Structure 1
C-alpha cells in the first residue's frame, strides 16, 4: 500500500468467490452460475486493470484493485487524505459489495459514489419503489410475493403484470414468461424464483414502451445533470432475461466474442426521436440527485412509450462500467476511454 502517493482503490467482488460461497450455502451449481454472473463486470474489467493503472499514472495516482474479501484489511491501512475508494460491484444479499462503501466510511476514506445506505436501497426493488413513489416519481406500483403467497397484493392491470426477483441483481426479468396475464401465473413464478434463488418477487403492472437507460459519470466534482446520457437500448426483445444477460457479459460473453457470435444491443439517443421524453428523464434524474442523493456515478432504467410517457423502473449505484452502454457514454459525453474517464474522475476527487 503506497502511503506517499494519492491512490485509487477499486473494490470488486469476483464471480468465482461468489460462486464458491453460494455453492457452500447449498445453491445448485447451475443456479450459483446464474447468480454470480451478475458480477460479470469484475470479470470483464479485470483484463483492463493494467490500462487503469497506466491511466492513473498519467495523473500521478497509484491504482490498487482489491478483491472484496481483502478489502477490510486494505482499507483499514489506507491513508485518509490520499485515498479514494471506488466500489465496482454492489449487493446486500447474494453479493456483498455494499459493504465496501461502509468500510470506507468506517475508516474515514473518501469514496466515489453514493452514500452506503443507497447501496442497500437500490438492491431491494420493493422498498426502493416505495421510496421512489413517495417522492412522486413515475414508478409502477408493486405487489410482493414469497414462495407462492402474497405479502402485498398487486394492483389491478388490464395489460397484465411483470414479475421479477426483488433482490437479485438489476434485471427486469428472468424468463420469457416473466410477463404474465393472470395472477395465478405470477404466484407460480414466485414459487419458481423462490425454489431457484430463495428470493421474493415484485409484481408490477406491465408497462409498454422501449427500454432506455440514463448514464452518469461526474468526471469533475461540479458536474451536473448536463452530463447525463440517455439512450434507448434495443436488444430485439421486450425485456432482458437471465439468458440474454449471460450472453453479453463475463465468461459467456467473452466466449461469444471469441466465436464471433457476440451481438450488442443497439443504442439510440432518446433525444433524437423523443425530445420530450428525454426532457422528462432528465428532470427525474435531477430529482433523484437532489432528493435521493445520487451522485458521481449511477444509471437509471426507464420504459418510454411512443407518446412520451416515461416509467421509472429502477436506479443503480454501481452501473456496469465495462458494459457496452457505459463505454459508449464515456466516449460520447467525455471523449474518453473507460480507463481514462475513471482515472480522471479519481484524480479530480483527490485534488479538489
Structure 2
C-alpha cells in the first residue's frame, strides 16, 4: 500500500510540470554546470555563424500541468541546453496560452553551442574575456518577469435583462422599460501570484433614471442605483505577440439596490442580495504599464424583499415567489488599465 501511495504521489508531482522532450543530434559534448549562462534568441533572430546544432527541445502541456508560466518553461528549456552541453537556446516556436487552448506556455527550440571564434571544434570556454565577447555578439532576449498587479477603471452602457412583471400596470410599462437601460462606472484590481491566475476585488456602480407620464395627469420619476462589491478570481491569457491580454473573471459578492420614486409622493426602496458576476475583457497594450481595454460583464442577483419608506413610515415587504425583483444585467465597457 505504501509503495502505491508513493507511486501515486510521484505521478502527481510529475503531472504538475510540463512534458519535456529532447532529441540530441550531437552526444559528444559534456554537460555544463547548473549555474552556466544560457543565451536566448527570439524566433525572428538569427543564429550566429559557427554555432553547432546539438538537438531539439519540445515542451508541451501534459494535460494536468499546473506549473507552466513562462519563467518556469524557459528555465526547463535552459536546463536541457546545459545537459546537452550547449550555451545558446534558439526559440523556433513559442505557443502562448489561449482562452480556447492550453493555459500553459509551450515551445519548440533548438540547442546550440557557440564560442567567440565561431568555427571549428568548439570547446566550452571558461575565459571571462571570451564569455564577454559572446555576450556582445549575440542578441540576448530580455526576459521580463510577468506583471503581478493590475488595476482597471472602466465604464459604459448597461441593460437590465429581467422581464417586466405582469403585475406592472399597462400605463407604467413604458416607464419601466426605459429604466432597463443605464450606465455603469467601475473599478477592479487584482494580484497575480501566477502568470495566468490572480485574485482581486471588483466594484461596479449602475445608474438608471427616467421621468414619464403614468396617465394624462400624473407623472413618475425614478432614479435607480445598484452597487456590487465582491472578490474575484481572474484567469489571464496572452496573444501570440503579447500585445493583447485576455482576461476572464468570476466574482461573488454583495449587491445593494436603491430606487427613489416621485409620483408625486416621494418613496424610497432599498434591498440587498448576494450576486455573481462574470467578465470577459481584452487589454490592448500601449506601453509597459498602460493598456486600453474593452469588455463584457454579466451580473446576476434576485431581490426577495425590499424596504419601503415614504418619509413618515418604513416597512419591509417580502416578495412572493414569481414576483422577485431580478437584478440580472449586461454591461458593455471600455476603460484604461494599469499594470506593474
Larger radius of gyration: 2
Question: Higher relative contact order at CA 8 Å, sep ≥6: structure 1 or structure 2?
Answer: 1
| Short-chain TM bin | under 0.3
More helix by share: 1
With the length of structure 2 as denominator, give the TM-score of the two structures: 0.23
More strand by share: 2
